[in-house]
Structures are given as structure tokens and as C-alpha cells.
Amino acid sequence: MSEATAPVHRGARLSRSARRAQLLVAARDVFAAQGYHAAAMDDIAEKAGVSKPVLYQHFPGKLELYRALLTTYADELVGRVQRAISATPDNEARVHAAVSAYFDFVAGEGQAYRLVFESDLRGEPEAAAVVDGALTRCIDSVASAVTADAGLDMPRARLLAVGLVGLSQVAAQYWLDSDQDIPRDEAVALMSGLAWRGLAGFPLIHG
């Protein structure tokens, strides 16, 4: 469970870390509903059930709060992908798990994926750097596995990794936005099957 999804109890006396988690949950809901530019610190404080001074004790401004939230969810996505890659030495299972990680992320609580992939603040350099850095780390994780197992050099492995990450991200977002007409498990199987049929053409050189 990530910091921004940890359960907290309104009105209780909280540790600093628990209060921060509460504020991030409130900010996630407000930013996802209103977008960065329309959201106000007043709205976030009200959603969290705290005064504005309490909110400002933790985050000096809206931009700092948004960056903290964006970093939390970007790190969550990277962690999901890295765990998927490292959980098994079986490459077909790895591909399925990596695709599944994206579907799990976009279907997660609070539409966190919209904060990462559809933010109206993507033009802000530091926010863009957080998102780009997360995607780079996902690509690096996949590329390292491809390099080790298929014997490709890093430029070719990274190109394949970009393809898998891009396929997973776009397909997962499309699936969610199309009202999930296809059951999640079937959608993951379809996309991981497509990816695996391509990657399986590269021989496994390390057992």
C-alpha cells in the first residue's frame, strides 16, 4: 500500500507521516476531479478535514503538493513494473505480469493514473521530469531483462522495452476509458499475448 493510499481516520490525532498521507489522499481526489489549475488549496484542506494552516505546514504551496503526489504515484507505477519483472525468471510470465501491472495501475483507486499520464500540468518542467523519469525507469527494468535473456545490446533491448511499455500503457488507458467492455483478465491476456508473440522470437540464452 502506497503512502497516498494508506487509510487514515478523520479527526484523529495523527503522526506527521499519517497526516501527510491523509493530505495526499485528499489532494489526489481533488486534483483528479478538478485538474491542477482548477483545484484550490481550500478545496484540498476541506476534503481532508483540516485547516489551511495545517495543510501549509506540510506543503508550502499547491505546486509542491502536486509534485509530491505525482512522485508518489510515479514511484508506485515503477514499483509495480519492477516487481513484475523480478517476480519470475519465466519470460512469458514476465510479459504478462508487466502488462498486468499497467492495467492494475490505471484501474487503481482515485484515478491516480490520470495524475501521471493526463495531467494538465505536464508542461511544467519539474512535473514532466517526474513522469519522464518514471517511464525511463520502467523501460530500464524491461530492457535489462531483455538484454540478459535475449542477448541483445542495450539500444535494441531499450527499443523493445519502449514498445512493451508503450503498448501496456496505451492499451490499459484505452481499456479503462472504454468502460471496460472486456473483462480485465481477458484484456491483459490479449495484450500480453500480442507482446509475447513478438518477444518470443528472440532466443533465451540464459536458463
By C-alpha distance, which of 76, 96, 74, 77 is closest to 85? 96
Higher pLDDT, 170 or 114: 170
Return d(Cα 51, Cα 30) in angstroms, integer.
Answer: 16
The DSSP element (H or E) to which 137 belongs, if any, is helix 125-150
The answer to whether 23 and 55 have CB atoms below 8 angstroms apart is yes
User: What pLDDT, on a 0 to 100 scale, did the predictor assign at position 194?
Assistant: 87
The answer to whether 199 and 165 have CB atoms below 8 angstroms apart is no
Strongest mean pLDDT among 171-175, 178-182, 192-196: 171-175
Residue 9 clears pLDDT 60, i.e. is over it: no
Residue 201 clears pLDDT 80, i.e. is over it: no
> How big is the chain by its Cα radius of gyration, in Å?
19
User: What pLDDT, on a 0 to 100 scale, did the predictor assign at position 154?
Assistant: 86
DSSP codes, 85-124:
HHS-S-HHHHHHHHHHHHHHHHTSGGGHHHHHHS-TTTTS
Roughly how many angstroms between the first and final C-alpha of the chain, as a whole number? 33
Mean pLDDT score, 3-16: 59
By C-alpha distance, which of 166, 153, 167, 165 is closest to 202? 153
User: What pLDDT, on a 0 to 100 scale, did the predictor assign at position 128?
Assistant: 86
Higher pLDDT, 5 or 189: 189
- At the top level of CATH, the class of 66-199 is mainly alpha
User: Where residue 8 falls among pLDDT bands split at 50, 70, 90?
Assistant: very low
User: Where residue 180 falls among pLDDT bands split at 50, 70, 90?
Assistant: confident
Return d(Cα 67, Cα 106) in angstroms, integer.
Answer: 19
Higher pLDDT, 6 or 152: 152
Q: pLDDT of 40-66, one tens digit each?
A: 999 999 999 999 999 999 999 999 999
User: Where residue 15 falls among pLDDT bands split at 50, 70, 90?
Assistant: confident
Tell me the domain boundaries of the chain: 3-64, 66-199
Q: pLDDT of 121-154, one tens digit each?
A: 777 888 888 889 999 999 999 888 877 766 778 8
User: Where residue 97 falls among pLDDT bands split at 50, 70, 90?
Assistant: very high
Please tell me the chain's helix, strand, coil percentages from 3-state DSSP, rounded to the nearest 5: 75, 0, 25
Q: Identify the CATH number of the domain defined by range 3-64.
A: 1.10.10.60
